[in-house]
Chains A and B, each alone.
Chain A
Amino acid sequence: MTMVLDWSITAAQICLGLAMGCAAFRLLRGPRAQDRVVGFDSLYVNAMMLLLTFGILTGSTVYFEAALIIALLGFVSTTALAKFLLRGEVIE
């Protein structure tokens, strides 16, 4: 039964890697700045899910804390970028 879990973890990692590739393409080749910000948002969310999957694979809880830190800092950075696009400056 653990072999099923191992194969599903591998398949999930491949899917999440492809998703990160799509988001990175949108981050690099986005026609405008807001497309790049959406691509960055999707990129860090997929990276967080990849870290959680890696935590299940190794069985250690360190990766959960890394995923939590990515969630916190990613929210702040995306909001700061969106505010910059909205006003031209982050802190008014």
Chain B
Amino acid sequence: MNADSPGWTLMVVAVLLMIGAAVSLIGSLGLLRFQTFYERVHAPTLGTTVGIGCIVTASMIYFSATGTRLVLHELLILVFMAVTTPVTLMILVRAALLRDRSENAASGQESGR
């Protein structure tokens, strides 16, 4: 902890950390509590967008305030996650659709779980 960093910066860092952690906890609780797979896919994206955004912004503000220069390389994580999360989840939902359809064709009954 650097002593000459201003207090409001640390307050902003603290609030952003709390918001990011709470949002990711809500997303994971949704992953735990929803009933079908297609509802469950929606929940963790909350954590991967808002949660990562808040925590990465908190880290950038903290290291910029305690260091001597502006630190921006946490933006790499933010951009990378924002680009890759829709790709992975879309491929995954397509795989789930294909598996459900092949199972429905085999057994002839609805299976959403």
Contact = CB atoms under 8 A, between A and B. Distances in A.
Nearest to A77: B88
B31 A79 contact: no
Secondary structure call for the B interface: helix
Contacts of A18: 25, 28
Interface in B26-60: 27-29, 31-32, 37, 40-41, 44, 47-48, 51-52, 55-56, 58-59
Given A18-B25, A56-B13, A38 B77 contact: no
B31 A49 contact: no
Q: How large is the interface on B (under 10, 10 to 19, 20 to 34, 35 or more residues)?
A: 35 or more
A1 B7 contact: yes
Interface residues of A, number: 51
A48 B80 CA distance: 13
B29 A22 contact: yes
Interface of B: 1, 7, 10-11, 13-15, 17-18, 20-22, 24-25, 27-29, 31-32, 37, 40-41, 44, 47-48, 51-52, 55-56, 58-59, 62-63, 66, 73-74, 76-77, 80-81, 84, 87-89, 91-92, 94-96, 98-99, 113
A67 to B, nearest CB: 6
Interface of A: 1-2, 4-5, 7-9, 11-13, 15-16, 18-20, 22-23, 25-26, 31-35, 37-39, 41-42, 45-46, 48-49, 52-53, 55-56, 59, 61, 64, 67-68, 71-72, 75, 78-79, 82-83, 85-86
- List of 3 A-B pairs having minimum Cβ-Cβ separation, nearest first: A12-B21, A8-B14, A19-B28
30 contacts: A5-B1, A12-B20, A12-B21, A15-B18, A16-B21, A22-B25, A23-B31, A23-B44, A25-B32, A26-B32, A26-B40, A35-B40, A38-B40, A38-B89, A41-B44, A42-B27, A42-B28, A45-B24, A48-B52, A48-B77, A49-B20, A49-B52, A53-B17, A53-B21, A67-B77, A68-B76, A72-B80, A75-B87, A79-B88, A85-B99
